[in-house]
């Protein structure tokens, strides 16, 4: 009898290959159906149009049929499930495709000037070919880096991503929106910026990168996890109430008849439900348990035995930095007085030498600890409020403003035969394109937070500014703001009210 060798590993590989082949076949079939829908739509469109508003699309959108539209320059895609757009014509100057499922963007035409792909799932984008791009909106995506920005770019919106560094060297950006990027550092911010929102980001100067500051800015991911935790907890507690009401519907009804004014009261014969809302990890009906301590927000499976699902959001302890500085300074002054007292006790032999030596060593350790903490908090305080490099940057920009003001003054004082209207136009241009961006740049360097407050009758508004954002006023004392979990993707469903 012939011997047959069975290789289970190869069998698994074959099975996986079959699954992958099946996926490819399904995707190809879906693409064919999508192409047919797109072609049917385009056949009914006027071939002389210069802009096209597409219906809701999904999957891969192939625009090869747009070659029949020689005048088209603008493409509008409504909210849908587009994963990729390919074969974009070389005549396109504007693409608007927010609220889809696009994961990557490449092969953009050189003619493109405006690109809006906010609220997608983009992880990578190649901008090396779009040398004429003036407006870019990639907010609410999954970008980890944003590089090769064209020098023509004037408007950049990249909020709510995972970008850690953004270098704007050589750009003349007028509008910059890049808040809510974890650990984002801005490099070479141009003085041409007139409007934007980047006050919560740490503007990078040479000394900032390795500076050991003692504050921790709450990152977007951590805040999102907190929101998810309390949403899950609230949803679960509401489901528990539902289960108890269902299990005790007859008792509640009888109690309501006896006491119509009081809906609830403690009843000895209150029944426990047969099953609790399911665990989000294993799906079993034993429920979940939530714990909130000074160190962590926790959630885990309550079944017996428990599944591996758990969620732990670590909490940190903070203290007001200025208060800590004064407390450490006070402690050090008190310790100095105690050192003098110990010296006097030693001279007059009020205590034994061993006792004085022991107390001196303990106090010296306390003094050194207070000194280290005081230095750390003072360094951060001085770095925030008295940053020499930031001060120099402001002075340099103020010198540039003075130069332009002198130019304006000389033009207004010019009594030669030049047309007065031309002079006024030049003065206005200098004020608008040169001086105003510099003033805005200085304002953002000086103040990290801006807030408008209106009076009760809404006839008067006040601008309130803060040198630093609130989360930089406190020092981290203990703990971390991190998430350690093994949770699966949670389908929140509808949070019914009770």
- What residue spans of 248-352 are helical by DSSP H? 249-258, 321-347
Supply the pTM of this predicted model: 0.56
Tell me which residue has tokens 């047309």: 419
Check residue 187 and give its pLDDT.
Answer: 82
Check residue 149 and give its pLDDT.
Answer: 93
The residue-averaged pLDDT of 418-434 equals 86
The alpha carbon torsion through 187, 190, 191, 197 (nearest 10 deg) reads: -70
Q: What is the CA radius of gyration of the chain?
A: 33
Share of the chain above pLDDT 70, in %: 81
Average pLDDT, the chain: 81
The C-alpha atoms of residue 325 and residue 24 are separated, in whole angstroms, by: 64
Check residue 11 and give its pLDDT.
Answer: 43
Check residue 353 and give its pLDDT.
Answer: 82
Relative orientation angle of helices 321-347 and 353-385, to the nearest 10 degrees: 160
Tell me which residue has tokens 């105690």: 338
pLDDT band at 114 (very low <50, low <70, confident <90, very high): very high
DSSP secondary structure string for all residues of 139-185: -SS--S------TT--EEE--SS---EEE-TT---SEEE--S-TT-E
Check residue 102 and give its pLDDT.
Answer: 93
DSSP secondary structure string for all residues of 82-147: EEEEE---TT--EEE--SS---EE----TT--EEE--SS---EE--TT-TT--EEE--SS--S---
User: What residues have CB less than 8 Å from 284, skipping those under 6 apart?
Assistant: 278, 301, 303, 307
Tens-place pLDDT, residues 307-361: 888 889 988 888 999 999 999 999 999 999 998 888 888 888 778 888 888 888 9
User: Has residue 31 got a pLDDT over 60?
Assistant: no
Check residue 440 and give its pLDDT.
Answer: 82
The C-alpha atoms of residue 44 and residue 35 are separated, in whole angstroms, by: 15
Backbone angles phi, psi at 364, to 5 degrees: -65, -40
Identify the residue with better confidence: 69 or 16: 69
The residue-averaged pLDDT of 74-89 equals 92
Tens-place pLDDT, residues 229-271: 999 999 999 998 888 888 877 777 766 666 655 555 555 566 7
Share of the chain above pLDDT 90, in %: 30
C-alpha triplet 213, 218, 220: angle, nearest 5°: 135
Backbone angles phi, psi at 89, to 5 degrees: -60, 155
pLDDT band at 304 (very low <50, low <70, confident <90, very high): confident
pLDDT band at 24 (very low <50, low <70, confident <90, very high): very low
Pair of tokens at residue 132: 């004429």
User: Has residue 98 got a pLDDT over 90?
Assistant: yes
């Amino acid at each position: 009898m012939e011997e047959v060798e069975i290789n289970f590993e190869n069998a698994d590989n074959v099975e996986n290959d079959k699954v992958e082949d099946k996926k490819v076949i399904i995707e190809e079939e879906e693409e064919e159906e999508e192409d047919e829908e797109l072609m049917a739509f385009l056949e009914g469109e006027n071939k002389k149009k210069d802009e096209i508003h597409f219906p809701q699309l999904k999957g891969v959108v192939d625009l090869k049929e747009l070659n029949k539209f020689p005048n088209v320059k603008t493409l509008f895609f409504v909210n849908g499930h587009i994963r990729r757009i390919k074969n974009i014509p070389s005549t396109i100057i504007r693409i608007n495709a927010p609220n889809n499922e696009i994961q990557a963007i490449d092969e953009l035409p050189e003619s493109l000037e405006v690109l809006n792909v906010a609220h997608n799932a983009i992880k990578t984008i190649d901008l090396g070919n779009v040398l004429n791009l003036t407006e870019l909106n990639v907010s609410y995506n999954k970008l980890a880096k944003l590089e090769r920005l064209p020098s023509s770019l004037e408007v950049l919106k990249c909020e709510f991503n995972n970008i850690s560094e953004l270098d704007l060297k050589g750009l003349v950006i007028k509008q910059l929106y890049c808040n809510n990027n974890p650990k984002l550092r801005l490099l070479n911010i141009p003085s041409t910026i007139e409007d934007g929102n980047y006050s919560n980001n740490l503007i990078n100067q040479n000394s900032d990168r390795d500076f050991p500051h003692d504050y921790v800015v709450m990152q977007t991911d951590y805040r999102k996890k907190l929101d998810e935790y309390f949403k899950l907890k609230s949803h679960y507690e509401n489901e528990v109430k539902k289960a108890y009401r269902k299990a005790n519907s007859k008792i509640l009804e009888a109690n309501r008849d006896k006491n119509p004014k009081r809906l609830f009261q403690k009843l000895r014969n209150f029944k426990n439900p047969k099953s609790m809302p399911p665990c989000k990890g294993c799906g079993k009906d034993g429920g979940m348990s939530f714990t909130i301590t000074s160190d962590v927000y926790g959630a885990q499976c309550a079944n017996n035995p428990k599944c591996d699902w758990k969620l732990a959001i670590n909490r940190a302890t903070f203290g007001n930095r200025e208060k800590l500085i004064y407390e450490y300074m006070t402690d050090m002054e008190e310790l100095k007085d105690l050192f003098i007292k110990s010296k006097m006790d030693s001279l007059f032999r009020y205590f034994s030498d061993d006792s004085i030596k022991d107390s001196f060593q303990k106090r010296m350790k306390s003094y050194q600890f207070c000194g280290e903490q005081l230095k750390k908090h003072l360094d951060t305080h001085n770095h925030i409020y008295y940053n020499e490099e930031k001060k120099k940057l402001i002075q340099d920009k103020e010198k540039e403003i003075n130069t332009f003001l002198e130019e304006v003054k000389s033009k207004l004082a010019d009594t030669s035969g030049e047309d007065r209207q031309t002079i006024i136009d030049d003065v206005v241009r200098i004020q608008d394109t040169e001086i105003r961006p510099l003033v805005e740049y200085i304002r953002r360097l000086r103040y990290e937070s801006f807030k408008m407050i209106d009076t009760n009758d809404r006839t008067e508004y006040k601008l309130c500014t803060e040198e630093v954002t609130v989360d930089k006023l406190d020092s981290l004392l203990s703990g971390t703001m991190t998430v350690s979990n093994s949770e699966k993707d949670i389908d929140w469903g509808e949070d019914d009210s009770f």
